[in-house]
């Protein structure tokens, strides 16, 4: 399929190339920010699982030049102005002093993470691995966040998402599940936006004894005010002109009483007049310079897939195009 | 709430994620029976190996976790079974399994586990003689203490995130005084860690948590893989104390590591110092990769060593995302262990879609079972299959064997070439014998059981040109020569009868096609011969008189047939023949894909064809099979079709089913299952089309060669001047037929008939058994090129429409679950997707004109098109066209749902913007005689209900309009009442109705059912009161289906939920 076909089917892919973003995911952070004002008063921000660096790019372009931006990833990342890029494992104990050093030993205002594993197709495993990645990011975040700070991370809205919401709820004043319009509706991904970091008294974060592994999650203070079905009395994000139905006591069986669950309120962010990531659009006739529109090349080629050598082997053997080589 | 549930789970179809063979000996000294334990979602099933599709038992083991593994113990006292997956395990006695009263106690584990096994009990007061040890995703070894019902940590390896692990129990020996557990751990970053820990017997369970802990020894850190490690396996100790580790990865390789010296290796440094993590930063620490196996076309999910060394080879098995399971071998103990070849010796493909997730091996019987994402379970007799070797002959060795010695080459080159003999044609006589002709005019037979070639004779007329065919199992072959002679040869008595195929025709016999008719004890043999420029064919018939010895050929007759083509048409080159003796019909298939039918009882001479129909445009009809009703034809264009034949008033062929598996079809057999054979790439391949799996595949070089084939026995072919024979015994079968191999995206139903469309691009029909609630698979069609996202039946069930990616929309005529034919293709746009459309039948009094189906289609670029489909012509005509946009903003979105409202009052449209809109259709809208399509009328209703995508929608008529129930990506359940007369809409929302997107909404009796990606199924009671709408959740249940995409009420009271698999629920009206 031609390049411009992808431009038609994915407006954010096209826009990312035209606006110089390393990946279309930049728009997800921009839309999250327009909803939650994440960058307001944020001067020290940490970007975890940052490569190829589109979220760091957003930080670099949006935050004032005096800000401290530190980006971490396992993979090397092309440098960005105003951003300190570190190659490090977020779960490793040595990463914390390294990170704090680059933050000038001051707590961070905001920690963000767009990390996700390569999905296998085994849904429960993929959700589990993603939740572990999120918890690892959270664990590092708790070590560097100032009280009242924010945490934004990618989440898979699958079977056990309510357990993850409940865990986050223990440490933050407000947990919202947000889906930017630039994130495909057909994708299981969304973002948790955690505002107002407020760990309970006596909570000592550490990378040695991570949350959920070495350390149990603290008891949520919010649970008392939560409704019988695990919801709290938060305001719902309803569209204009619809009425909320107040549920009576829900029936049905409570199947797994051991694990706390919480359904975070949902918000679709980004303006409805923004592009729809699921829709197909006609391509513009002229570009921003008034020239005839042409499909642009991506800013950064995608990182080499782990099966690159396998592809080369197959090519040498004269096999077909390797139709099965796709990962998802 | 104590009342009985409204929803009763009755069946499911899920990816098969765990398999284990179990040998059961109910009665002492009886022959042990082999059972297969199957993990599908949270359920286990027991299957009988001897009887496919027979489920001996099905039970739920876990409340919601998926079973990822089944481990059987080898304890002498009693056999225990361990089910494990996610964060749960369950231990039970094997003998309890089949009992109804067997209770499965789910034991929760603190973390996700990647492997679980039994070890001999270390407790002094054992509850059982075995205990359970698991390894978690964070490289922690846990042991379950059944007395305190808790887990305690045996040891913790280097902290990292794993994708796979394997455990091996090492009993104490002369070198090590303590029992140990050897751990192989594969990390997400491509490392493999091999570590071990000693197990200290605990005096009591209370203190065990302290005394059981011991520092683990890390023996090796194995680096080299370029992606996450998806499986690791430690081999048993082979000859010479050799021990290996096998690993497989995201990088599509299998790697073999020599770990024989792990016990004497220096411990690997711990990870306290700062190191860079990720791929390929460090050198491997100990252990070396001795071999790399390439071959899988996608990610490899599993690898396992086989316990015995076969012919001094180490053998292993792998399973992959690429749908194949492969056997590999390598030579151990080579001196140069740097470049050991890991050879792929056998490949099996029994699954479709994507992923083999699970397997089980029975080494005693040489059996492999594989389980796929498609819900299929394949069974391979791998040992038998790999034992049958190919046989190859050069002509010289055959001639030597039959006692013909080539003349001494007096003059080399020219003369040599003339007398040199080569293989010409083959014909499979029976299970044990095939015939061959040679360019020197020899006719040979080969007897498989005796491995012997025989010469039947040599005829000058067959020199340089011969056509060979045979009547299977008759011992008779038919020959055509270059002088226009045809011969019948009795391979037993070696008698031959020759005659001129056609008077005044001395040219080559171009084709010989055989038929047979049985009347009482008598067989009548038919030979149709053609010449090179055929306008007339000759049909010879004869009988064999077996009362004489030797038998005699009697009653020979010849009938002339006129070619079915009319003047000016292309030639009718016969490629296949069938004779129906009941109806006296002769069928001829042609190279151009035509089918001619003759009435043999007619007295007209030469005989005229009753009809000539193009059944397979573009390529040859390769086989014609007579069936109970009608015929089956196959074609080299890859298609096969079922045709019904009606005789009066005129002969009429109706295609009732057609499909195009990716195969150049050369032949078929229809019994309970449809088996097809032909060529695919360089292979001769036999497929079971009914159960959609490969029966056999032989690499022969491709289609352009002489060959013959006897189903389930052998395949013979010429390659590079030599004759080859491969056995094709049925060593592969399906124990369970499954459904789609990728996510199901759409479902439609009519009565008990279900159509499903999936990301595997297949459209499948099935029926829901009213008794068992099981899905019984029917026809499969693969016409779509991308995922199928929407399906609709017409109300009478005659037509089915399917749509999806690449703007494809097809019309199908459906007669039963096994009969589906493509009737029309709508114009499409490759950039666009269709997520939603609806159908409305249009009845016109009297003539066919105007009758048909009106379709309203929504596209991903916001266009809405109305087409009129005419069943008589199979054409779509555009009637109306417009672009969806919100009234004030003029903004568009991707359309997800289009519905005709009851009473023809308009079209309801919903999309990714969360709005419901209605476009009124005027009562006089008449989809005929329009030169240009009408524009879409202005909206009468626009109402925003959800924040973003409306993922699911259902419409229910009510007194003054409609209720529209919606499921949103925003986790909400919406209820909208629309007064269609006054165009007034009112909406209510249940926020956080699900923890994630609500992707299915259905009216079930008086209630509304919702289901979502959170795998919850909820039943709501919606009532209209004075204060407006009240909603009550009446029930919520867990579904085993991940990524739920749709639901449908089937056959009255059953709810079928689809996604990654299928869930069937029975809905009662309840109290």
Question: Which pLDDT tens digit goes with each residue over B827-882?
Answer: 988 889 999 999 999 876 655 556 899 999 999 999 999 999 999 999 999 999 99
Four-CA torsion B404, B409, B414, B415, nearest 10 degrees: -50
Is 80 exceeded by the pLDDT of residue B662?
A: yes
Q: What is the mean pLDDT of chain B?
A: 89
Residue A166 included in any domain:
yes
- pLDDT band, residue B570 (cuts 50/70/90): confident
Residue A150 included in any domain:
yes
Side by side, the strands of the sheet bearing B522-530 are B511-519, B522-530, B536-545, B552-562
**Which pLDDT score, from 0 to 100, does residue A224 have?**
39
Question: What residue segments make up the domains of chain B, in order of their start?
Answer: 739-831, 835-944, 954-1070
Q: Which residue of B has its CA nearest to A281?
A: B861
Sequence-distant (≥ 6) Cβ neighbours of residue B434 within 8 angstroms: B426, B427, B428, B445, B446, B708, B710, B714, B716
Residue A325 included in any domain:
no
Give the distance from residue A1's alpha carbon to the nearest chain B alpha carbon, in angstroms: 10
Q: Which residues of B touch A166 (CB under 8 A)?
A: none
Q: Which residue of B has its CA nearest to A117?
A: B188
**Which pLDDT score, from 0 to 100, does residue A182 have?**
93
pTM: 0.91
Q: Which residues of A touch B1038 (CB under 8 A)?
A: 255
| Ranges of chain A whose pLDDT falls below 70 | 1-3, 214-215, 219-235, 248-258, 302-303, 317-328
Is 50 exceeded by the pLDDT of residue B593?
A: yes
Q: Which residues of A touch B373 (CB under 8 A)?
A: 121
Give the distance from residue B226's alpha carbon to the nearest chain A alpha carbon, in angstroms: 5
Residue A149 included in any domain:
yes
List the CATH number of the domain containing A35. Answer: 3.40.50.150
User: Cβ–Cβ of A279/B111 closer than 8 Å?
Assistant: no
Q: Select the residue of A92, A261, A263 nearest B971 (Cβ to Cβ).
A: A263
In contact, B275 and B282? CB cutoff 8 Å: yes
* Tens-place pLDDT, residues B78-128: 789 999 999 999 999 888 887 877 888 999 999 999 999 999 887 666 667
User: Cβ–Cβ of A9/B831 closer than 8 Å?
Assistant: yes
In contact, B620 and B635? CB cutoff 8 Å: yes
**Which pLDDT score, from 0 to 100, does residue A312 have?**
78
How far apart, in whole angstroms, are the C-alpha atoms of residue A191 and residue A180? 8
Of A99, A258, A144, A251, give the one whose Cα is nearest residue B108. A258
User: Cβ–Cβ of B892/A268 closer than 8 Å?
Assistant: no
- Read off the pLDDT of each residue in B220-241 and give the average, rounded to a whole number: 91
- pLDDT band, residue B887 (cuts 50/70/90): confident
Q: Select the residue of B892, B948, B1030 nearest A179 (Cβ to Cβ).
A: B948
Q: Select the residue of A124, A136, A242 nearest B987 (Cβ to Cβ).
A: A242
How far apart, in whole angstroms, are the C-alpha atoms of residue B266 and residue B982? 84
Q: Which residues of A touch B990 (CB under 8 A)?
A: 244-245, 247
How far apart, in whole angstroms, are the C-alpha atoms of residue B210 and residue B884? 69
User: Cβ–Cβ of B1035/A252 closer than 8 Å?
Assistant: yes
How far apart, in whole angstroms, are the C-alpha atoms of residue B788 and residue B759? 6
Residue at token pair 């009478």? B796
Q: Which residues of A touch B862 (CB under 8 A)?
A: 279
* Tens-place pLDDT, residues B741-793: 999 999 999 999 999 999 999 999 999 988 888 899 999 999 999 999 999 99
User: Cβ–Cβ of A128/B1013 closer than 8 Å?
Assistant: no
According to the CATH classification, is domain B954-1070 in 1.10.287.610? no
Interface of A with B in 148-207 (CB under 8 A): 157-159, 161-162, 165, 177, 179, 181, 185, 188
The percent of residues in chain B predicted with pLDDT above 70, rounded, is 91
User: Cβ–Cβ of B1032/A251 closer than 8 Å?
Assistant: yes
In contact, B1055 and B1018? CB cutoff 8 Å: no
Q: Which residue of B has its CA nearest to A280?
A: B861
**Which pLDDT score, from 0 to 100, does residue B336 have?**
58
User: Cβ–Cβ of B990/A188 closer than 8 Å?
Assistant: no
Structure tokens at B693: 């799996």
Q: Which residues of A touch B190 (CB under 8 A)?
A: 306
- pLDDT band, residue B1059 (cuts 50/70/90): very high
Is 50 exceeded by the pLDDT of residue B175?
A: yes
Q: Which residues of A touch B970 (CB under 8 A)?
A: 179, 237, 266-268
Give the distance from residue A64's alpha carbon to the nearest chain B alpha carbon, in angstroms: 31
The mean-pLDDT minimum among A5-14, B278-287, B398-407 falls in B278-287
User: Cβ–Cβ of A327/B299 closer than 8 Å?
Assistant: yes
Q: Select the residue of B112, B227, B995 nearest A307 (Cβ to Cβ).
A: B227
A222 a catalytic residue: no
- Read off the pLDDT of each residue in B649-666 and give the average, rounded to a whole number: 91
User: Cβ–Cβ of B227/A240 closer than 8 Å?
Assistant: no
User: Cβ–Cβ of B912/A276 closer than 8 Å?
Assistant: yes
Annotated binding-site members of A for S-adenosyl-L-methionine: 53, 55, 73, 89, 114
Residue A276 included in any domain:
no
Interface of A with B in 202-261 (CB under 8 A): 213, 231, 236-245, 247-248, 250-253, 255-256, 258, 261
More confident residue, B353 or A208: B353
Q: Which of B64, B139, B831, B967 should we substitute to test contact with A (largest number of A Cβ atoms within 10 Å)?
A: B831
User: Cβ–Cβ of B299/A120 closer than 8 Å?
Assistant: yes
Q: In chain A, what is the greatest distance between 2 CA atoms, to the nearest angstrom?
A: 66
User: Cβ–Cβ of A237/B970 closer than 8 Å?
Assistant: yes
**Which pLDDT score, from 0 to 100, does residue B76 have?**
61
Q: Select the residue of A128, A159, A242 nearest B988 (Cβ to Cβ).
A: A242
**Which pLDDT score, from 0 to 100, does residue A255 have?**
43
Domain count, chain A: 1
* Tens-place pLDDT, residues B908-941: 999 999 999 999 987 656 655 566 788 899 999 9
Residue A63 included in any domain:
yes
Q: In chain B, what is the greatest distance between 2 CA atoms, to the nearest angstrom?
A: 112
How far apart, in whole angstroms, are the C-alpha atoms of residue B147 and residue B125? 9
Q: Could you report the predicted ipTM of this complex, rounded to two decimals? A: 0.90
**Which pLDDT score, from 0 to 100, does residue A271 have?**
80
Q: Select the residue of B86, B189, B301 nearest A124 (Cβ to Cβ).
A: B86
Of B224, B225, B234, give the one whose Cα is nearest residue B284. B224
- Read off the pLDDT of each residue in B605-623 and give the average, rounded to a whole number: 92
- pLDDT band, residue B284 (cuts 50/70/90): very low
Q: Which residues of B touch A241 (CB under 8 A)?
A: 943-944, 987
Q: Select the residue of B278, B944, B970 nearest A266 (Cβ to Cβ).
A: B970
User: Cβ–Cβ of A307/B974 closer than 8 Å?
Assistant: no
Which entry of A17, A28, A154, A179 is annotated as an active-site residue?
Answer: A154
Q: Which of B187, B295, B996 should we substitute to test contact with A (largest number of A Cβ atoms within 10 Å)?
A: B996
**Which pLDDT score, from 0 to 100, does residue A270 have?**
83
Verify cis geometry, omega within 30 degrees of 0, for the bond prior to B649: yes
Q: Which residue of A has its CA nearest to B136?
A: A213
How far apart, in whole angstroms, are the C-alpha atoms of residue A252 and residue A271? 37
* Tens-place pLDDT, residues B988-1028: 999 999 999 999 999 998 899 999 999 999 999 999 887 78
Where residue B475 falls (left for φ over 0; alpha for ψ -120 to 50; beta otherwise) is left
Q: Select the residue of A238, A253, A326 nearest B991 (Cβ to Cβ).
A: A238
Q: Which residues of B touch A252 (CB under 8 A)?
A: 1, 1018, 1033-1037
Classify burial at B3, counting beta carbons within 10 Å of its beta carbon; exposed 0-12, middle 13-18, buried 19 or more.
exposed
Q: Which residues of B touch A162 (CB under 8 A)?
A: 995, 1014
User: Cβ–Cβ of B1014/A74 closer than 8 Å?
Assistant: no
How far apart, in whole angstroms, are the C-alpha atoms of residue B620 and residue B628? 24
Cα B1005–B1009–B1012 angle (5° rounding)?
165
Domain of A200, in residue numbers:
11-217+260-269
Is 70 exceeded by the pLDDT of residue B704?
A: yes
By DSSP bridging, strand A108-113 and strand B744-750 are unpaired
Q: Which residues of A touch B860 (CB under 8 A)?
A: 9, 278-280
The percent of residues in chain B predicted with pLDDT above 90, rounded, is 68
* H helix count then E strand count, chain A: 8, 9
Interface of A with B in 273-312 (CB under 8 A): 273, 276, 278-282, 306-310
Q: Which of B948, B969, B1027, B1034 should we substitute to test contact with A (largest number of A Cβ atoms within 10 Å)?
A: B948
In contact, B1008 and B987? CB cutoff 8 Å: no
User: Cβ–Cβ of A325/B298 closer than 8 Å?
Assistant: yes
Q: What is the Cα B397 distance to its own chain's centre?
A: 42
Structure tokens at B650: 């005129």
């Amino acid at each position: 399929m031609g390049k411009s076909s992808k431009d038609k089917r994915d407006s954010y892919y096209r826009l990312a190339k035209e606006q110089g973003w390393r990946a279309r995911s930049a728009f997800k952070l921009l839309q999250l920010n327009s909803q939650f004002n994440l960058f307001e008063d944020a001067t020290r921000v940490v970007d975890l699982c940052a490569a190829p660096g589109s979220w760091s790019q957003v930080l670099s372009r949006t935050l004032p030049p005096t800000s401290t931006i530190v980006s971490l990833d396992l993979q090397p990342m092309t440098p960005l102005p105003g951003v300190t890029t570190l190659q490090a494992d977020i779960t490793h104990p040595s990463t914390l002093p390294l990170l704090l050093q680059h933050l000038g030993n001051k707590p961070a205002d905001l920690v963000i993470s767009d990390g996700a594993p390569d999905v296998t197709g085994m849904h429960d495993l993929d959700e589990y691995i993603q939740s572990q990645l999120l918890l690892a990011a959270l664990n590092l975040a708790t070590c560097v966040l100032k009280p009242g700070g924010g945490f934004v991370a990618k989440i898979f809205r699958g079977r056990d998402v309510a357990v993850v919401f409940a865990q986050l709820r223990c440490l933050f004043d407000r947990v919202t599940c947000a889906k930017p319009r630039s994130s495909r509706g057909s994708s299981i991904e969304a973002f948790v936006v955690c505002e107002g970091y407020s760990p309970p008294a006596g909570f000592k974060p550490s990378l040695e004894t991570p949350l959920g592994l070495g350390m149990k999650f603290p008891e949520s203070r919010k649970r008392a005010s939560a409704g019988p079905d695990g919801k709290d009395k938060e305001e719902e994000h309803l569209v204009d002109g619809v009425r909320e139905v107040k549920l009576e006591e829900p029936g049905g069986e409570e199947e797994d009483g051991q694990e706390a669950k919480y359904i975070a309120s949902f918000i679709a962010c980004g303006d409805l007049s923004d592009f729809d990531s699921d829709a197909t659009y006609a391509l513009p006739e002229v570009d921003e310079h008034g020239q005839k529109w042409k499909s642009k090349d991506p800013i950064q080629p995608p990182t080499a897939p782990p099966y690159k050598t396998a592809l080369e082997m197959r090519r040498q053997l004269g096999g077909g195009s390797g139709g099965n080589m796709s990962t998802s | 709430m104590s009342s009985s549930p409204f929803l009763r789970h009755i069946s499911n179809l899920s990816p098969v994620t765990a398999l284990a063979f179990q040998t059961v000996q109910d009665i002492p000294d009886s022959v042990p029976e082999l059972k297969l334990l199957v993990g599908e979602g949270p359920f286990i099933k027991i299957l009988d190996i001897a009887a496919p599709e027979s489920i001996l038992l099905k039970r739920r083991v876990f409340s919601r976790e998926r079973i990822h593994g089944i481990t059987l113990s080898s304890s002498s006292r009693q056999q225990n079974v361990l089910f494990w997956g996610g964060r749960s395990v369950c231990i039970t006695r094997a003998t309890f399994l089949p009992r109804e009263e067997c209770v499965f106690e789910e034991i929760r584990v603190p973390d996700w586990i990647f492997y679980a096994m039994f070890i001999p009990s270390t407790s002094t007061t054992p509850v059982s003689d075995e205990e359970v040890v698991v390894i978690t995703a964070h490289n922690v070894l846990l042991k379950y203490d059944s007395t305190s019902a808790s887990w305690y940590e045996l040891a913790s390896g280097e902290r990292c995130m794993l994708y796979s692990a394997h455990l091996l129990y090492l009993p104490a020996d002369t070198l090590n005084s303590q029992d140990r557990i050897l751990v192989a751990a594969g990390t997400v970053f491509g490392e493999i860690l091999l570590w071990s820990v000693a197990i200290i017997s605990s005096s009591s369970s209370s203190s065990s948590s302290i005394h059981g802990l011991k520092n683990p020894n890390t023996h090796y850190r194995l680096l080299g893989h370029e992606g996450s490690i998806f499986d690791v396996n430690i081999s048993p100790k082979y000859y010479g104390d050799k021990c290996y580790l096998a690993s497989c990865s995201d990088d599509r390789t299998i790697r073999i590591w020599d770990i024989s010296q792990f016990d004497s290796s220096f411990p690997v440094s711990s990870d306290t110092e700062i190191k860079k993590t990720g791929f390929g930063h460090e050198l491997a620490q100990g252990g070396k990769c001795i071999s790399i196996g390439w071959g899988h076309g996608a990610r490899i999910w599993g690898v396992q060593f086989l316990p015995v060394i076969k012919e001094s080879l180490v053998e292993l098995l792998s399973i992959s995302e690429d749908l194949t399971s492969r056997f590999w071998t390598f030579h151990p103990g080579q001196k140069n262990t740097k470049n050991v070849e890991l050879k792929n010796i056998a490949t099996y493909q029994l699954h479709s879609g994507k992923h083999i997730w699970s397997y089980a091996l029975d080494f005693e019987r040489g059996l492999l079972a594989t389980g796929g994402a498609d819900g299929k379970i394949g069974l391979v007799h791998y040992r038998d299959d790999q034992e049958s070797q190919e046989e190859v002959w050069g002509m010289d060795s055959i001639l030597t064997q039959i006692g013909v010695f080539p003349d001494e080459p007096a003059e080399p080159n020219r003369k040599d070439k003339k007398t040199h003999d080569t293989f010409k044609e083959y014909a499979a006589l029976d299970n044990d014998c095939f015939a061959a002709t040679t360019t020197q005019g020899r006719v040979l037979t080969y007897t498989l059981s005796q491995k012997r070639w025989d010469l039947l004779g040599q005829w000058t007329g067959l020199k340089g040109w011969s056509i060979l065919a045979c009547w299977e199992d008759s011992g008779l072959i038919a020959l055509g020569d270059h002088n226009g002679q045809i011969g019948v040869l009795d391979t037993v008595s070696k008698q031959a009868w020759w005659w001129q195929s056609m008077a005044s025709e001395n040219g080559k016999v171009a084709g010989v096609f055989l038929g047979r008719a049985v009347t009482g004890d008598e067989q009548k043999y038919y030979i149709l011969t053609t010449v090179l420029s055929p306008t007339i064919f000759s049909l010879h018939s004869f009988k064999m008189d077996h009362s004489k010895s030797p038998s005699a050929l009697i009653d020979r007759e010849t009938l002339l047939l006129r070619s079915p083509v009319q003047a000016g048409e292309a030639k009718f080159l016969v490629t296949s023949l069938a004779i129906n003796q009941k109806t006296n019909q002769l069928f001829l298939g042609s190279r151009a894909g035509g089918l001619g039918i003759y009435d043999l009882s007619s007295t007209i001479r030469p005989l005229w064809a009753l009809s000539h129909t193009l059944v397979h445009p573009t390529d040859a009809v390769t086989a014609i099979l007579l069936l109970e009703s009608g015929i089956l034809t196959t074609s080299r264009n890859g298609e096969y079709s079922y045709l019904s034949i009606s005789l009066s008033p005129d002969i009429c062929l109706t295609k009732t089913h057609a499909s195009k598996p990716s195969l150049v079809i050369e032949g078929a057999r229809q019994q309970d299952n449809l088996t097809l054979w032909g060529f695919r790439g360089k292979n001769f391949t036999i497929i079971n089309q009914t159960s959609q799996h490969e029966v056999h595949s032989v690499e022969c070089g491709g289609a352009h060669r002489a060959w013959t084939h006897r189903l389930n026995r052998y395949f013979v072919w010429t390659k590079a001047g030599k004759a080859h024979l491969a056995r094709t015994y049925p060593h592969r079968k399906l124990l369970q037929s499954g459904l789609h191999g990728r996510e199901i995206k759409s479902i439609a139903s009519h009565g008990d008939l279900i159509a499903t469309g999936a990301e595997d691009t297949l459209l499948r029909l099935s029926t829901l058994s009213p008794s068992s609630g099981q899905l019984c698979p029917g026809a499969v069609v693969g016409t779509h090129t991308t995922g199928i996202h929407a399906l609709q039946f017409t109300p009478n069930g005659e037509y089915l429409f399917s749509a999806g990616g690449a703007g494809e929309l097809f019309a199908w005529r459906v007669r039963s679950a096994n009969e589906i034919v493509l009737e029309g293709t709508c114009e499409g746009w490759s950039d666009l997707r269709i997520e939603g459309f609806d159908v409305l039948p249009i009845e016109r009094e009297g003539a066919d004109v105007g009758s048909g189906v009106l379709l309203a289609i929504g596209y991903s670029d916001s266009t809405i098109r109305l087409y009129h489909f005419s069943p008589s012509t199979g054409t779509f005509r555009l009637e109306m066209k417009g672009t969806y946009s919100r009234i004030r903003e003029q903004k568009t979105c991707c359309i997800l749902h289009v519905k005709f409202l009851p009473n023809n009052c308009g079209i309801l449209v919903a999309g990714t913007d969360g709005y419901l809109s209605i476009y009124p259709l005027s009562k006089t809208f008449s989809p005929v005689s329009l030169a240009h399509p009408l524009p879409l009328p202005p909206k009468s209703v626009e109402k925003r209900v959800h924040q973003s995508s409306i993922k699911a929608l259902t419409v229910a008529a009510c007194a003054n309009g409609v209720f529209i129930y919606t499921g949103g990506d925003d986790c909400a359940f919406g209820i909208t009442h629309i007064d269609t007369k006054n165009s007034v809409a009112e909406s209510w929302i249940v926020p956080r109705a699900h923890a994630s997107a609500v992707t299915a909404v259905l009216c079930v009796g008086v209630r509304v059912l919702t289901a979502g990606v959170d795998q919850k199924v909820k039943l709501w009671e919606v009532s209209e009161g004075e204060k407006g709408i009240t909603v009550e959740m009446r029930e919520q249940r867990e579904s085993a289906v991940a990524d739920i995409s749709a639901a449908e009420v089937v056959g009255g009271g059953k709810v079928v939920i689809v996604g990654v698999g299928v869930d069937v629920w029975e809905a009662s009206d309840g109290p």
